Amino acid sequence: MSDDAKRKIAGIDLGTTYSAIAHFDEYGKVDIIPNSDNERITPSVILFEDDEVIVGKIAKNQAVSNPENVVQFVKRHVGEPDWVRVIEGREYTPEILSAIILKRIVSDAEDQLGEPISDVVITCPAYFNDNERKATGDAGKIAGLNVLGILNEPTAAAIAFGMNNRDNRVKALVYDLGGGTFDVTILEIDGNNVKVLATDGERRLGGKDWDDMLLNHVAEKFMDEHDIDPREDPEAYQDLVIKVEEAKKSLSKKPQAKIFAQCGGKSLKLAVTRDEFQELTLPLLEQTETYMDVVLKKADLGWNDLDVIVPVGGSTRMPAVKEMLERVTGKKCEKGINPDECVSIGAAYWAAILMVREAKQLQEKVTAGTASEEEAVKVTEAQAAVEEAVPEDVVGLLGGVVVTNVNSHSLGIVTVLRDGSRRNLVMIAEQTPLPAKVTKVFGTAMENQVSVEIKILEGESEDPEECVEIGTCVISDLPPNRPKGSKVSVTYEYTEDGRIHITARDHETNSEVRTEIKREAEGLSEEEMDQKGEEIARLLEEGPEAAYAASGQGYDDPGG
């Protein structure tokens, strides 16, 4: 984007199965931007062909005939450093694949709007850890976007709900069952204030698991009939994936659906009733109900304390889900919110809120005479960005919005006890309002110690092996020639968007010392992200064969 290009903000729901993008339209209303197929949500599916890379409905439909070149459900692997998908000899990480999806939906949106999108907020599940949040942000950067922030999906849904219900003070339970992930969050919404009280979830629980239950049921019936397992044939399996998803959606409207399965020259027509489907998938539904009980206890509330139940995610359209929610809570589900669109709409609001807030805070510093030279220059840029990107009549409204999230994982460090055993020492407990920080003072272990390494964890267990190791915090440049036990102050912080930040100071001089987190999932450098961004731009514009030929490498020749 050129320096004089107009700023344009958007909110993106980067989903496991479907993604959506929203913006402020010319009337100051937040609305979904349709894709090139004129659909309001886009399948998060990628098809790699020699002459083009396709994202969306066509890619999803091609999964049956070309399964080895189709990528789906990438979100379930975000933040996993060792996961790659190999297509024609080339390795694609979750961040690269997510960037391809982001690049395509943003490109489609820009074509619809006739102007470039510069700044975005991308959403993620509330329980995503630091590695997963970093990877989500990196995907946005690779796609060439300025990522203003990463926002929890249920918080985004609550913002969308709250902006249309500003006169009400309510406690809301957001039940977010998407295609591949599940969150449940309890929030308090009071006018412009949105406060998360408690949250929990499961990264591998979503509509796909309901599909898989039905698929396995059909496959077993097929085996009983023909002694052939259609799950072992890639084309037959992908065909069945599409058909059971269609049957699941049909069963949300009709009492019965028919599935026609084919494999090895054999076929089976099977009728499935809604009652049968609900019985098959009851363990999954009960799992989500268990999380609801857990979050209610974390919030120290009873069901009678809740005012609103907000179902989010396409999978909440299944009748059994709403029946369970109303049975357990004793409340009717909110109907005035679109479960497919509310997350991206809330993200667009949050993008505007972040812009307005930055400009306001910088102006307050300038007025108070506490702004640095850099901040004094930046305030003009920030105010100009707000004027360009945020409709004038909503600036005042958004300036007073306060959103308080909580961390879904405890932040801890590895400590070694006297008996040599290792333990997770929690620095910031889960469900702490964000941003949050805590400072601890420790003594050096030996004389003349000039560096310290601290292993950073996320998790609740005392056993480090049961937690997620984020990386190692390396504190260096400590003053030399100090005795054993010299004190160092270390500040551990969760930022507003759930990211970990650590700083350290020499306790005696109060001077800051060098601190670096060497992550287990290190990801790409800024330069590498720029290079990958150029690469995926060529992939989408020219196709793999031409794009890699231009770089001097063949499609199936990853180079050395």
Task: Give the tens place of pLDDT for each residue, 367-384.
Answer: 999 989 899 989 999 999
**Which conformational region is residue 374 in: left (phi greater than 0), alpha (psi within -120 to 50 degrees), or beta?**
alpha
pLDDT at 61 over 80: yes
- What mean pLDDT comes out for the span 64-90? 91
- pLDDT value of residue 557: 56
Domain with CATH 3.90.640.10 in the chain: 207-280
Percent of the chain whose predicted confidence (pLDDT) is above 70 = 97
Which residues are 476's β-sheet partners?
Answer: 514
Distances (CA, A) of 44 to 80, 104, 276: 18, 10, 29
pLDDT at residue number 545: 81
3 has a pLDDT exceeding 80: no
Q: What is the DSSP string of 222-235?
A: HHHHHS--GGGSHH
Average pLDDT (241-254) is: 96
**pLDDT tier, 397 (very low <50, low <70, confident <90, very high otherwise):** confident
Q: Where in the chain is the domain with CATH 3.30.420.40?
A: 9-164+339-404
At residue 38, what are phi and psi to the nearest 5 degrees?
60, 30
Question: What's the pLDDT score for residue 558?
Answer: 53
Angle (nearest 5°) at CA 208 between 203 and 210? 110
> If phi over 0 gives left and psi between -120 and 50 gives alpha, with beta otherwise, what is residue 510?
left
Q: 554 falls in which pLDDT band (50, 70, 90)? A: low
- Contact in structure between 427 and 393 (CB atoms under 8 Å): no
How is domain 207-280 classified at the CATH fold level? Actin; Chain A, domain 4 (3.90.640)
pLDDT classification of 473: cutoffs 50, 70, 90: very high
Tell me what the pLDDT averaged over the chain comes to: 92
Q: What per-residue confidence (pLDDT) applies to 227?
A: 97
What superfamily does domain 9-164+339-404 belong to in CATH? ATPase, nucleotide binding domain (3.30.420.40)
Those residues whose C-beta lies under 8 Å from the C-beta of residue 216, and which sit 6 or more positions away, are: 231
Q: Where in the chain is the domain with CATH 2.60.34.10?
A: 411-519
Q: Which carries the bigger pLDDT value, residue 418 or residue 551?
A: 418
Cα 343 to Cα 351: distance, rounded to the nearest angstrom: 12
Give 3-state DSSP helix, strand, coil % of the chain, rounded to 5: 40, 30, 35
Give pLDDT, residue 515: 87
**Mean pLDDT over residues 238-267, rounded?**
96
Residue of 210, 403, 205, 184 whose CA lies nearest to 295: 184
Q: Dihedral angle at the C-alpha atoms of 91, 95, 99, 102, nearest 10 degrees?
A: 130
pLDDT interval class at 548 (50, 70, 90): confident
Q: What local confidence, expressed as pLDDT, does residue 108 receive?
A: 97
CATH class of 411-519: mainly beta
pLDDT (0 to 100) of residue 356: 93
**What amino acid is encoded at 328 in this protein?**
V
> Do 476 and 482 contact (CB within 8 A), yes or no?
no
- Return d(Cα 308, Cα 472) in angstroms, integer: 42
277-286 pLDDT tens trace: 999 999 999 9
pTM across the whole model: 0.92
Tokens of 58: 């066509």
Q: For Cα atoms 495, 501, 503, give the angle at the middle one, nearest 5 degrees.
A: 130
